[in-house]
Amino acid sequence: MTMIKAKGNEFNLPNVKDSFNRRAAQFRQSIIDNLRNNELAEGYIEVSEQAYALKKAKASALWYFNGHRLYYSYNLCNTFVENMYVVMKVIELEVKKLINEEKTLEEFTHEFKEDKEVEDKRKEARKTLGLDENETDVEVINKAYKNLAKEHLFY
C-alpha cells in the first residue's frame, strides 16, 4: 500500500483493482454525503467526474459554506479513481477533526477556502512559464520557474 500525505493527513491509498468507475462514483457520493450530513455545504456541491476512472486526471470537490467558496483537488496519483479517493479521505478526515473539536469551524473553512479566480491565475502563471495551462507536475513547474528566473537574473 502507498502512504499518502495530504493537507496534514496521512493514510494508505487502497489498491483499486476492479470496478474503477463504480468505485469513483462511490467516493464521489461519499464526499457529497459527508458534507451534507454534517451541514458543511449550503446547497451547491460539485464533485468532478470522469467517464473512465483509470484515466490520469485531477479529482476535485467544490462547495459553498458560510458565504465562502471551498475547494479541494488532488492530482498526484496515477488514476482519477485514486485521486478521488484522496479527495474523499481528506474531506472525511478534516470533517472528523471538526466534529471531534480538534479544529474550529473557522480553521476548517480557512483550510479549504479559495477565490474563484485562483484556477485562472494558476493557468495564466503556467502559460507565463511556457507550460501547458493544465500542467500539474510540481517538478516540471519548478524547473520551468527556475529556468525563467535564470533568464531574468541581473548581475
What domains sit in the chain, N to C, each tagged with a CATH number? 2-114 (3.30.160), 119-151 (no CATH)
pLDDT digits (tens, 9 = 90+) for 73-89: 999 999 999 999 999 99
pLDDT beyond 90 at 147: no
| Element containing residue 142 per DSSP (H, E) | helix 138-151
pLDDT in tens, 52-64: 999 999 999 999 9
Q: Which residues contact 120 (CB under 8 A, 6 or more apart)?
A: none
pLDDT at 115 (0 to 100): 65
pTM of the model: 0.76
Q: List, in order, residues 6 or more apart from 96 with CB less than 8 Å away.
A: none
pLDDT tens string 114-145? 766 777 777 888 888 888 887 777 788 888 88
20-31 tens-digit pLDDT = 999 999 999 999
Give whole-number Cα distances, 94 to 1, 14, 114, in Å.
22, 19, 16
